[in-house]
Amino acid sequence: MQKEFGDAFASVEDTTFTAKYRAGCHCQAVQYEVSADPVDAKICHCVVCQTLHGAPMQWAAIFHKRHVRITRGIAQLRFYNSARQQYERILPCKVSCAVCGTLIADEGRKMWLAFPSLFDFGRPPQVPASFTPTCHIFYGMRVMDMHDDLPKWSGHKNKSVLL
Ligand SMILES: [Zn+2]
Ligand SMILES: [Zn+2]
């Protein structure tokens, strides 16, 4: 199953993989681990995220897929390509749990844009500095103003204008 899911991900048989953080959906049918800190973290204000997440914005922490391994529930993963409006694993796509509906990540070709709200950071949560957002993206589509010092890009980071 792991092989069918994709060679881009770390394997559960990889003995060199050391879990640094663990994440799971609301019902825990889907669980996964990452072996590294995210390479970046962003807040996305795009309309697609607003709609699919039922929230004013989305917080994503970006990992290389080789640092991610699904430890439970690969068969429970559901995929949705928002650009084509198809429930298929056409990358990039949204990944969710078929059982409880939790949105788990945006899966790109090489990267895994994890939703840190699913991570176990302890109680009370101690969010590592590496998960702190470095910018807002698609801020031109915002439904809420953010009063912080982070750069606010109209679209993608470094590929749009600063607002
Ligand atoms: Zn679930
Ligand atoms: Zn978005």
With beta carbons less than 8 A apart as the criterion, state whether 96 and 80 touch: yes
- What is d(CA 33, CA 12) in angstroms, rounded to the nearest whole number? 10
- Does residue 129 lie within any of the structural domains? no
Separation of 40 CA from ligand 2 center, angstroms? 15
- Does residue 48 lie within any of the structural domains? no
Separation of 53 CA from ligand 2 center, angstroms? 9
- Does residue 81 lie within any of the structural domains? yes
Separation of 77 CA from ligand 1 center, angstroms? 9
The predicted pLDDT at position 101 comes to 97
Give me the number of domains the chain comprises. 1
Tell me: the pLDDT tens digits for 135-153?
999 999 999 999 999 999 9
- Does residue 158 lie within any of the structural domains? no
- Does residue 12 lie within any of the structural domains? yes
Separation of 48 CA from ligand 2 center, angstroms? 6
Range of the domain at 27: 2-36+56-119
Tell me: the pLDDT tens digits for 9-37?
998 888 999 999 999 999 999 999 999 99
Q: Assign residue 68 the CATH number of its domain.
A: 2.170.150.70
- Does residue 69 lie within any of the structural domains? yes
Q: Is 95 helix (H, G, I), strand (E, B) or coil?
A: strand
Separation of 96 CA from ligand 1 center, angstroms? 8
- Does residue 42 lie within any of the structural domains? no
* Bond preceding residue 92 cis, omega within 30 of 0: yes
Residue (of 39, 40, 46, 42) closest to 135 by Cα position: 42
Q: Is 130 helix (H, G, I), strand (E, B) or coil?
A: helix
- Does residue 22 lie within any of the structural domains? yes
